Structure 1
Amino acid sequence: MFFLVACGSSEPPAITPPEGPTPQTGWHEIIATDSSAPTARHEAAFIGIDDKYYLLGGRGIKPVDIFDNKTQVWSSGAKPPVEIHHFQPVVWNKEILLLGAMTGGYPGETPLPDIHVYSPATDSWSTGPEIPADRRRGGAGAVIHNNKLYLVCGITDGHRGGHVAWFDEYDLKTGAWRKLPDAPRARDHFQAVVHGSKLYALAGRTTTAATNPFANTIGEVDVYDFKTGAWSTLSDTLPTHRAGNAAIVLNDSILVVGGESKDQLLAHSEVEALSVATGKWHTLDSLSRGRHGTGIIHHDGKLIMASGCGHHGGEPELDDMIVYELE
Structure 2
Amino acid sequence: MRYLLAALATLVLLAGCSDSSPAWRPLASAPEARTEVAGAALARRVAVVGGLTATGQASARVDLYDPRRARWIRLPDLPEARHHAMAATRGGRLYVVGGYRPASEGGAPADTAWVLFDRRWRPLPRLPEPRAAGGAAIVRNRLYVIGGVSDAAPRTLAATSLHLDLRTLQWTPFPGVTPAREHLGVTSLAGQVYAVGGRTADLRTNVATAEAYDTRRGAWTRLPDAPTARGGNGAVAADRRIVVVGGERPGGTIPQVDAYDPSTGSWRTLPASPRPRHGAAVVGIGRTAYQAMGGPEPGLSVSPTLMALRVPRD
CA drift of 1:239 comes to 1.7
Task: State yes or no: 1:73 paired with 2:62.
Answer: no
SS in 1 for 2:249: coil
Q: Corresponding residue for 1:114?
A: 112
C-alpha displacement at 1:44, in angstroms? Answer: 0.4
SS at match of 2:284: strand
CA displacement, residues 159-211 of structure 1 (integer Å, 9 cap, x when unaligned) = 96201231222111011122223333201111212222322211001244xxx
Percent of aligned positions with the same letter in both sequences? 28
Q: Is the 8 A contact 1:110 1:158 kept in 2?
A: yes
- Note if 1:228 corresponds to 2:217: yes
The aligned residue for residue 238 of structure 1 is 226
Give 1:313 shift.
1.0
The unaligned stretches of length 5 or more in structure 1 are 1-22
**Which of structures 1 and 2 has the bigger CA Rg?**
2
Which residue pairs with 1:144 in the alignment?
A: 138
Inter-CA distance 129–182: structure 2 relative to 1 (3 Å threshold):
same
Aligned to 2:246: 258
Match of 1:191 in 2: 185
Change (3 A) 1:308 1:164: same
The answer to whether residue 45 in structure 2 is matched with residue 52 in structure 1 is: yes
Inter-CA distance 165–277: structure 2 relative to 1 (3 Å threshold): farther
Alpha-carbon contact 1:28-1:288 (below 8 Å) kept: no
Q: Write the distance in 1 (CA, Å) between the matches of 2:289 and 2:176.
A: 32
1:305 alignment partner in structure 2:
291
Following superposition of structure 1 onto structure 2, how do residues 149-160 of structure 1 map, counting pairs within 5 Å?
A: 149-158=143-152
Residue 171, structure 1, aligned to residue 157, structure 2: no
Q: Distance in 2 between matches of 1:305 and 1:183?
A: 24
| Separation (CA, whole Å) in 2 of partners of 1:232 and 1:309 | 31
Change (3 A) 1:63 1:193: closer
Q: Deviations 1:200-256 (Å, cap 9, x if unpaired)?
A: 211001244xxxx3x12122212222232222312x212211111110112332111
**CA distance 1:285–1:207, change in 2 (3 Å):** same
- Does the 8 Å contact 1:102/1:158 carry over to 2? no
The answer to whether the 8 A contact 2:277-2:294 is kept is yes
Across the aligned residues of Structure 1 and Structure 2, the Cα RMSD in angstroms comes to: 2.4
Contact 2:238 2:289 in 1 (8 A): no
Residue by residue over 1:25-78, the C-alpha shift from the partner in whole angstroms, topping out at 9 and shown as x without a partner, is: 2212123xxxx7331001102333225332211022242223233332223333
Residue matched to 2:23: 26
Counterpart residue identity of residue 142, structure 1: A
CA–CA distance in 1 between the matches of 2:154 and 2:267?
A: 32
Query: TM-score, normalized by length of structure 2?
Result: 0.83
Q: Helix, strand or coil for the counterpart of 2:194?
A: strand
Per the alignment, in what secondary structure is the counterpart of residue 111 of structure 1? Answer: coil
Cα deviation code 1:140-163 (max 9, x no counterpart) = 221111201111221123496201
Distance (Å, rounded) in 2 between the aligned partners of 1:161 and 1:127: 27
Deviation at 1:286, TM superposition (A): 0.7
CA contact (8 A) 2:179 2:200 kept: no
Partners of 1:312 and 1:159 in 2: how far apart? 23
Residues 232 and 74 of structure 1: is their aligned pair in 2 closer, same or farther, counting only changes over 3 Å?
Answer: closer
Q: 1:324 to 1:197 in 2, by over 3 A?
A: closer
**For this pair of structures, how many residues does the alignment match?**
287
Specify which of 266, 272, 276 is matched with residue 280 of structure 1: 266
Cα distance in 2 for partners of 1:321, 1:205 equals: 25
Once residues 176 and 286 of structure 2 are traced to their aligned partners in structure 1, the CA distance between those partners, rounded to angstroms, is: 37
Give the partner amino acid of 1:29: P
Partners of 2:66 and 2:188 lie apart in 1 by 27
* Higher-helix-fraction structure: 2
Indicate if the aligned counterparts of 2:136 and 2:143 stay in contact, CA closer than 8 A: yes
Q: Unaligned regions of 5+ residues in structure 2, if any?
A: 1-19, 53-57
Structure 1 residues 207 and 52: alpha-carbon distance in aligned structure 2, compared to 1, 3 A threshold: same
Distance in 2, matches of 1:319 and 1:218, equals 27
Asked if 1:82 is matched to 2:45, the reply is no
Quote the Cα distance in structure 1 between the aligned partners of 2:213 and 2:73.
39
Map of 1:131 onto structure 2: 127
Give, as a single letter, the amino acid of the residue that structure 1 aligns with 2:22. T
* Residue in structure 1 matched with residue 7 of structure 2 by the alignment: none
For residues 86 and 323 of structure 1, the distance between their equivalents in structure 2, rounded to whole angstroms, comes to 22
Instruction: Look up the match of 2:309.
Output: 324
Relative to structure 1, the CA distance from residue 128 to residue 30 in structure 2 (aligned partners, 3 Å threshold; closer, same or farther) is same
